[in-house]
């Protein structure tokens, strides 16, 4: 069997979404996200957040959500604090820096930023010859597939409040974070702790799209102007609205995230039982086993996956990702091969 464990966006979209897009195809609707589908989706998300006055904007991708939020929320001399491993630091081609904002990075632990490191950033920057750290960027799940516990988020939120910093959460895989077996923070908890965040659709069964959620009233004005200026205000915004409306119908969003996590946990348990270790604890749908290079060569004949980093002379870290559509047979075939 040949299978691709490279990422969670190798398939199209969940059939309910394709059906909904088809059913609504010839129906006319207003443009630029001011259509009934987007409004209905936003209402469902607000109900889930327990926050009626959240602003919700549907955008096409994760990099776009991040750069829109950073550029909209910060003054020119303000900076972002993140873990060294953060997606914005490593994998977004300098998109944040291109908006004019420096990223102050700290080592983190297993991909997670710690309150002490935020404190360090605040202490280190003290006058007008330096940037002013203002926005704390974390992603949940993290770049290493780990998950922030509610107490981690509360501790980060507390230090943010103490120093008047904004807490922004990149939720490309927020569903997987919430449904992780180690997780105890709901969407409503996250809405209470963060100033803004986004709920990822692309990596959880949508064709395309993320929902940016702004909670802090001071960050709400003129966001759509910034979207327009950055080419992010889609004339056919309905396309993303329809998808989120489906995802938040009857818990589909959570069901898909749970499936992806369960498949990855089955993989992780089998890999662990075979005696291999992991770069970071497997907690969601992305896992990072350490394999001998020879085994990686052999596995690569039947399976696609990223070789994440060198571990030592003879071993490397692989990244295996399961999606809403991964089948048991693919997991079984991989485990049989190792
Ligand atoms: C945590 C995280 N944030 C942002 C992104 C960027 O998303 P996109 O490729 O849609 O711009 C990714 C994509 O892999 C991601 O994993």
The residue nearest atom 15 of ligand 1, judged by CA position, is: 172
Answer yes or no: do 175 and 35 share one domain. yes
How would you classify residue 337: left for phi > 0, otherwise alpha for psi between -120 and 50, otherwise beta? alpha
**Residue from 82, 91, 199, 208 to probe ligand 1 pocket by mutation (most atoms less than 8 Å from CB):** 91
Q: How many CB atoms lie within 10 A of CB 233?
A: 18
Answer yes or no: do 24 and 39 share one domain. yes
Total-model pTM: 0.98
Q: Residue 324 sits in which domain range?
A: 3-9+252-337
DSSP string, 83-128: ETT-HHHHSSTTHHHHTT--EEEE--BTTB--HHHHHHHHHH--ST
Rounded Cα distance between 24 and 34, Å, is: 15
Residue ranges of the chain with per-residue pLDDT less than 70: none
Answer yes or no: do 164 and 311 share one domain. no
Alpha helices in 138-222 (DSSP H): 150-162, 174-179, 187-193
**Residue from 7, 70, 82, 87 to probe ligand 1 pocket by mutation (most atoms less than 8 Å from CB):** 87
Q: What CATH number does the domain containing 309 carry?
A: 3.90.1150.10
Distance 302 CA to ligand 1 centre (A): 26
Q: What is the pLDDT of residue 272?
A: 98
For the chain, what is the domain count? 2
Structure tokens at 76: 């020119």
Helices then strands, counting H and E runs in the chain, come out as 14, 13
Answer yes or no: do 183 and 40 share one domain. yes
Does residue 270 have its Cβ closer than 6 Å to ligand 1?
Answer: no
Answer yes or no: do 240 and 312 share one domain. no
Does residue 170 have its Cβ closer than 6 Å to ligand 1?
Answer: yes
Q: What is the pLDDT of residue 138?
A: 98
Does residue 139 have its Cβ closer than 6 Å to ligand 1?
Answer: yes
Q: What is the pLDDT of residue 1?
A: 82
Rounded Cα distance between 176 and 245, Å, is: 18
Answer yes or no: do 242 and 271 share one domain. no
Distance 285 CA to ligand 1 centre (A): 14
Q: How many CB atoms lie within 10 A of CB 201?
A: 30
Answer yes or no: do 243 and 259 share one domain. no
pLDDT digits (tens, 9 = 90+) for 276-334: 999 999 999 999 999 999 999 999 999 999 999 999 999 999 999 999 999 999 999 99
3-state secondary structure of 20: helix
Atom of ligand 1 nearest to the CA of 142: 1
The residue nearest atom 5 of ligand 1, judged by CA position, is: 62
């Amino acid at each position: 069997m040949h299978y691709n464990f490279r990422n969670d966006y190798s398939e199209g979209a969940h059939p309910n979404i394709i059906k909904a897009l088809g059913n609504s195809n010839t129906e006319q609707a207003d443009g630029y996200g001011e259509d009934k589908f987007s409004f209905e989706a936003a209402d469902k998300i607000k109900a889930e957040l327990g926050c009626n006055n959240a602003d919700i904007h549907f955008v096409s991708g994760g990099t776009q959500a991040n750069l829109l939020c950073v550029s909209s929320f910060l003054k020119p001399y303000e900076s972002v604090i993140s873990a060294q491993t953060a997606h914005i630091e490593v994998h977004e081609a300098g998109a944040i820096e291109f908006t004019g904002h420096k990223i102050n990075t700290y080592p983190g632990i297993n991909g997670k930023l710690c309150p002490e490191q935020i404190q360090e950033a605040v202490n280190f920057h003290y006058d007008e010859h330096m940037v002013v750290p203002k926005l704390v960027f974390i992603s949940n799940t993290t770049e290493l597939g780990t998950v922030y516990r509610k107490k981690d988020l509360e501790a980060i939120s507390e230090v943010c409040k103490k120093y008047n910093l904004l807490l922004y959460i990149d939720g490309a895989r927020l569903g997987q974070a919430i449904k992780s077996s180690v997780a105890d923070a709901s969407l409503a908890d996250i809405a209470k702790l963060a100033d803004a965040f986004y709920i990822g659709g692309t990596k959880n069964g949508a064709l395309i799209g993320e929902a940016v959620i702004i909670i802090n009233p001071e960050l709400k004005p003129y966001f759509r102007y910034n979207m327009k200026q950055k080419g992010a205000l889609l004339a056919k915004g309905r396309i993303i609205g329809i998808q989120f409306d489906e995802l938040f119908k009857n818990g589909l969003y959570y069901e898909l995230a749970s499936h992806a996590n369960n498949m990855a946990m089955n993989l992780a348990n089998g890999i662990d039982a075979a005696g291999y270790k992991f770069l970071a604890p497997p907690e969601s749908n992305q896992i990072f086993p350490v394999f001998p290079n020879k085994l990686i060569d052999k596995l690569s004949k039947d399976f696609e996956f990223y070789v994440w980093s060198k571990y030592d002379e003879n071993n490397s870290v692989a990244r295996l990702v399961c999606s809403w559509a991964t089948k048991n047979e693919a997991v079984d075939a991989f485990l049989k091969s190792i």
